Amino acid sequence: MPRKASRKTPAKSPDIRTVAALAKVSIATVSRTINGSPVVSERLAKRVWQAIHELGYLPNTHARTLVSGRSRLFGIIVENITNPFFPELIQSFEEVAVAHGYEILVSSSNSNPAILTTCVRRMLERKVDGVAVMTFGEEEPVLDQLMHRKIPIVLAEFKLQDPHCSTILLDYRSGIHAAVRHLAGLGHRHIAFLAGPHTLHSALTRENDFRAAMKTAGLPIQKNWIVECDHTLKGGVNGFDQLQALATRPTAIVCSNDMTAIGVLRAAFMKGLQVPKDLSVIGLDDIDFAEFTLPPLTTIRLSRADLARAAFEALRQQAEDPSNPHLQREFLVSTSLVMRGSTAPPVAD
Amino acid sequence: MPRKASRKTPAKSPDIRTVAALAKVSIATVSRTINGSPVVSERLAKRVWQAIHELGYLPNTHARTLVSGRSRLFGIIVENITNPFFPELIQSFEEVAVAHGYEILVSSSNSNPAILTTCVRRMLERKVDGVAVMTFGEEEPVLDQLMHRKIPIVLAEFKLQDPHCSTILLDYRSGIHAAVRHLAGLGHRHIAFLAGPHTLHSALTRENDFRAAMKTAGLPIQKNWIVECDHTLKGGVNGFDQLQALATRPTAIVCSNDMTAIGVLRAAFMKGLQVPKDLSVIGLDDIDFAEFTLPPLTTIRLSRADLARAAFEALRQQAEDPSNPHLQREFLVSTSLVMRGSTAPPVAD
DNA sequence: GTGAAAGCGCTAACAA
DNA sequence: TTGTTAGCGCTTTCAC
């Protein structure tokens, strides 16, 4: 009975030694082959690949990471995965990452500093090669942990004087100016802005760009017409209600993000206002859903794919080629107006 | 000049040896302390923790994984992260996982078998301790890879006779019966069903449950009134249009998921139909957004949190206690009707 | 061009 | 109770 032969050890999954044995080479050669080292002779390489396929061998990334010091893992921290903007961002980030042989670790901070800290800690334990912090302005508390350990980071809209930190600048200006110009061209003079939470850099930037755009367009800014919301649907509803309670009301509303705008659409409908006849609404982000609102939302598009690509590229450069003097530390992602059905000339007043 | 002292090696991050040295104990004691072994004396444990905090030491998970054979990593594969159902599921899954000291790897298959295969491969390389395949019925092609390697898997709505595979059964029946009963109670007799793609088990199950519910309610099923859509917004629009083109039209539509229902809402509005006055609509899932549609969507709630918890629990049991004879291999997640504003009695015909 | 061998940071036997 | 030590699976010198 071939007992000894048939049950060596309880059938572990094949490792580099198994492959080496089958291909009749050393494990070094197997390693070189897998990593595409040019020194291996074709003859041996072929035998190695053959063995690999035969065994269905998959290299153990943990072992690789341990010895090489590189995990090929990038973390991405978003504010809230439940906000449609982020899954689209994650999707694109995953795509580029996988295409380059990286894996990603996703976490939501839910705008909670304590959770954010935990996320970072977890990523540190998993030895990520870099972290994309896509929380748009709530990141300060954790930056230290990351920088301290010299982990590459990429931030949105927040510059940091640190050799390991890159920034993606979002050029809201172009999109917001286009939006205001569009509205002004339609004849609107009374334009409100539903801002995001003032704790977010991005929200502040957007608001400032709106103010600037209004000034450029020669339009008056009414203090009452800039109201701080929270980038949620419900926030948009509330913001709209606040605006409606005013003595003089705007004929158009620019929102700091699409969710807010969708909230406005909804609230306006409930109040019997017709968009765009009675009120023009413009969002920001252009989430997939914006196309399907009623009416379809005119909005300022911020490409998630562009953002994701920039974030990945920033991380990749830092991780793979940190000493390159031409390392790009600032990336720019632009915005643009996409016209749909939620804007029209104001009713004569 | 203290040159030698100040630059030992280029300041690597502290490892278990550094901690041991600082605490004046062996590395074994450090390891035991970290892992909560009860044998370490309080005195030493205290010194170790002290050193750990002082150094900001974080254990290297890759090293741990390598030696222990367990990565404390679970994979979760969803069909499409861009569908709002899934981020909510992922969010809950992440929460339970992290609470139990696990990390998660997220991937979208985008209903593409080739991508699915890649996802699984990546997860295998990262040595996940288990995979939750939440693609609702497109999983067959990859199951083999997973089972072959004896990785615990949990599937939604698909039973497999394999010792490493658990199943989460979704009890659509209760919810769908309640929905039909609700509609019948309102006086509807002409009820249509906008199904999901027939390639999905879950879609088929939902459709069958609808048929059964209609039968139970003593209502006729018209062949024309069951149309296959694709679980997207656009699909809902198309489905609605198809129904409208019919000679006799339903007064109520039950949809296989919320996105479809939202599409119907939108299409109905465009056609000048008022929901729920002219048409009742019921969705399935109860995504966050359902509450904010116009009118708010009456829908069959499928709790993502329950689903996520069940999936995690299934995986955890298999990963941590595979030989337990009481291991639970089937989990049930139920559904229930949540009434909102999209249903009403039919107009007299 | 190829192989032998030294670790990467940790856990788990085994000794003491 | 604590410490010593042998690997986990791999990459990477360094010889040959």
Confidence at A159, pLDDT banded by 50, 70, 90: confident
Inspect the interface and report whether the beta carbons of B127 and A81 lie closer than 8 Å.
Answer: no
pLDDT at A4: 34
Count of CB atoms situated within 10 Å of the CB of B331: 19
Taking residues A276-299, what's their average pLDDT? 93
Q: What angle do CA A284, A287, A292 make, to 5 degrees?
A: 105
Q: Tell me which DSSP letter residue A61 carries.
A: H
- Sign for the pseudo-dihedral over CA of A326, A90, B201, B188: negative
Q: What is the pLDDT of residues B146-162, one digit of tens each?
A: 888 889 999 988 888 88
User: A290 near A259, Cβ under 8 Å?
Assistant: no
Tell me which residues of chain B, numbers 13 to 42, contact chain A at a CB-CB cutoff of 8 Å: 13
Count of CB atoms situated within 10 Å of the CB of B206: 27
Taking residues B17-36, what's their average pLDDT? 95
| Chain center to CA of A118 | 19
pLDDT at A312 over 50: yes
For testing contact with chain B, the best of A12, A53, A58, A110 (most B CBs within 10 A): A58
Higher pLDDT, B343 or A139: B343
Taking residues B153-181, what's their average pLDDT? 92
- Share of residues in chain B with pLDDT > 70 (%): 95
Higher pLDDT, B157 or B52: B52
pLDDT at B97: 97
For testing contact with chain B, the best of A70, A104, A125 (most B CBs within 10 A): A125
What average pLDDT is seen over chain B? 91
Structure tokens at B268: 């109905």
Confidence at A1, pLDDT banded by 50, 70, 90: very low
Inspect the interface and report whether the beta carbons of B106 and A106 lie closer than 8 Å.
Answer: yes
Tell me which residues of chain A, numbers 72 to 91, contact chain B at a CB-CB cutoff of 8 Å: 81-82, 84, 86-88, 90-91
User: A164 near A144, Cβ under 8 Å?
Assistant: no
Question: Which residues, 6+ apart, have CB-to-CB distance to B213 below 8 Å?
Answer: B173, B176, B177, B179, B180, B181
Separation of alpha carbons A128 and B44, rounded Å: 31
Separation of alpha carbons B311 and B314, rounded Å: 5
Q: What is the pLDDT of residues B211-247, one digit of tens each?
A: 999 999 999 999 999 999 999 999 999 999 999 999 9
User: A154 near A128, Cβ under 8 Å?
Assistant: no
Structure tokens at A73: 């893992």
Separation of alpha carbons B209 and B172, rounded Å: 7
Structure tokens at A2: 């071939």
- What residues pair up with B255 in beta bridges, in sequence order? B194
Confidence at A252, pLDDT banded by 50, 70, 90: very high
Structure tokens at A294: 């009623």
Question: Which residues, 6+ apart, have CB-to-CB distance to A6 below 8 Å?
Answer: none
Confidence at A138, pLDDT banded by 50, 70, 90: low
Tell me which residues of chain A, numbers 43 to 62, contact chain B at a CB-CB cutoff of 8 Å: 56, 58-62
For testing contact with chain A, the best of B52, B62, B116, B240 (most A CBs within 10 A): B62
Tell me which residues of chain B, numbers 125 to 164, contact chain A at a CB-CB cutoff of 8 Å: 125-127, 148-149
Residue where the block lists tokens 């003595």? A247
Confidence at B9, pLDDT banded by 50, 70, 90: very low
Inspect the interface and report whether the beta carbons of A125 and B61 lie closer than 8 Å.
Answer: yes
Nearest CA in chain B to A65: B62
Inspect the interface and report whether the beta carbons of A71 and B63 lie closer than 8 Å.
Answer: no
pLDDT at B149: 86
Tell whether B106 lies on the interface with A, counting CB pairs under 8 A: yes
Amino acid B41 reads S
Tell whether B111 lies on the interface with A, counting CB pairs under 8 A: no
- Sign for the pseudo-dihedral over CA of A45, A51, A53, A57: negative
Confidence at A111, pLDDT banded by 50, 70, 90: confident
Size of interface A-B (CB pairs under 8 A): 108
Sort B11 into a burial class: Cβ within 10 Å, 0-12 / 13-18 / 19+: exposed
Q: Give the domains, in start order, of chain B with CATH numbers.
A: 16-68 (1.10.260.40), 73-171+304-335 (3.40.50.2300), 173-301 (3.40.50.2300)
User: Three-state secondary structure along chain B?
Assistant: CCHHHHCCCCCCCCCHHHHHHHHCCCHHHHHHHHCCCCCCCHHHHHHHHHHHHHHCCCCCHHHHHHHHCCCCEEEEEECCCCCCHHHHHHHHHHHHHHHCCCEEEEEECCCCHHHHHHHHHHHHHCCCCEEEEECCCCCHHHHHHHHHCCCCEEEECCCCCCCCEEEEEEEHHHHHHHHHHHHHHHCCCCEEEEECCCCCHHHHHHHHHHHHHHHHCCCCCCHHHEEECCCCHHHHHHHHHHHHCCCCCCCEEEECCHHHHHHHHHHHHHCCCCCCCCCEEEEEECCHHHHHCCCCCEEEEECHHHHHHHHHHHHHHHHHCCCCCCCCCEEEEEEEEECCCCCCCCCCC
CA of A31 to C1' of D13 (A): 14
Count of CB atoms situated within 10 Å of the CB of A168: 23
Q: Residue at minimal CA–C1' distance from D9?
A: A63
Inspect the interface and report whether the beta carbons of A58 and B118 lie closer than 8 Å.
Answer: no
pLDDT at A348: 64
pLDDT at B182 over 80: yes
Count of CB atoms situated within 10 Å of the CB of A28: 12
Residue A123: phi and psi, rounded to 5, are: -65, -35
- The nearest CA of chain A is from the CA of B193 a distance in Å of 22
Confidence at A9, pLDDT banded by 50, 70, 90: very low
- Sign for the pseudo-dihedral over CA of A229, A234, A238, A240: positive
Tell whether A262 lies on the interface with B, counting CB pairs under 8 A: yes
Strand C nucleotides within a 7 Å radius of protein CB atoms: 1-5, 7-13
Separation of alpha carbons A260 and A237, rounded Å: 7
Structure tokens at A224: 């009452």
Confidence at B30, pLDDT banded by 50, 70, 90: very high
What average pLDDT is seen over chain A? 91
- Sign for the pseudo-dihedral over CA of A295, A296, A301, A306: positive
Separation of alpha carbons B74 and B133, rounded Å: 11
Tell whether A269 lies on the interface with B, counting CB pairs under 8 A: yes
- In angstroms, the first-to-last Cα distance of chain B is 98
Amino acid A190 reads H
- Share of residues in chain B with pLDDT > 90 (%): 77
Nearest CA in chain A to B122: A103
Taking residues A68-87, what's their average pLDDT? 93
Q: Residue at minimal CA–C1' distance from C2?
A: A29
Strand ranges across the sheet with B280-285: B103-108, B73-78, B130-134, B153-156, B165-171, B330-338, B298-302, B280-285, B252-255, B191-195, B226-228
pLDDT at B4 over 70: no
Structure tokens at A99: 């295409």
- Sign for the pseudo-dihedral over CA of B250, B256, B261, B263: negative
Separation of alpha carbons B111 and A67, rounded Å: 36
Q: Strand C closer than 7 Å to the CB of A44?
A: yes
Taking residues B34-54, what's their average pLDDT? 94
Range in A130-139, A237-246, B29-38, B112-121 with the lowest mean pLDDT: A130-139
The CA radius of gyration of chain A, in Å to the nearest whole number, is 26
Nearest CA in chain B to A104: B105
SS3 A133: strand
Taking residues B104-113, what's their average pLDDT? 91
Amino acid B136 reads F
Tell whether A212 lies on the interface with B, counting CB pairs under 8 A: no
CA of B189 to C1' of D11 (A): 70
- In angstroms, the first-to-last Cα distance of chain A is 99
pLDDT at A289: 87
Residue from A118, A91, A116, A144 nearest A312 by CA: A91
Instruction: Give the closest nucleotide to A28 (alpha carbon vs C1').
Output: C3
Instruction: Give the closest nucleotide to B17 (alpha carbon vs C1').
Output: C9
User: B293 near B266, Cβ under 8 Å?
Assistant: no
pLDDT at B139 over 70: no
Separation of alpha carbons B180 and A64, rounded Å: 56
Q: What is the pLDDT of residues B110-137, one digit of tens each?
A: 888 888 889 999 999 999 999 999 988 7
State how beta strands A280-285 and A298-302 pair.
Answer: parallel
Higher pLDDT, B116 or A282: A282
User: B65 near B127, Cβ under 8 Å?
Assistant: yes
Residue A81: phi and psi, rounded to 5, are: -65, -15
pLDDT at B141: 67
CA of B100 to C1' of D12 (A): 37
Structure tokens at B218: 């003593």
pLDDT at A147: 83
Q: What is the pLDDT of residues A197-206, one digit of tens each?
A: 998 888 999 9
Q: Tell me which DSSP letter residue A205 carries.
A: H
Residue from A221, A220, A226, A285 nearest A83 by CA: A285
CA of B28 to C1' of D7 (A): 15
Q: Which of B66, B87, B98 lies at the smallest CB-CB distance from A63?
A: B66
User: A19 near A57, Cβ under 8 Å?
Assistant: yes
Question: Which residues, 6+ apart, have CB-to-CB distance to B311 below 8 Å?
Answer: B76, B93, B132, B134, B154, B156, B168, B331
pLDDT at A6 over 60: no
pLDDT at A146 over 60: yes
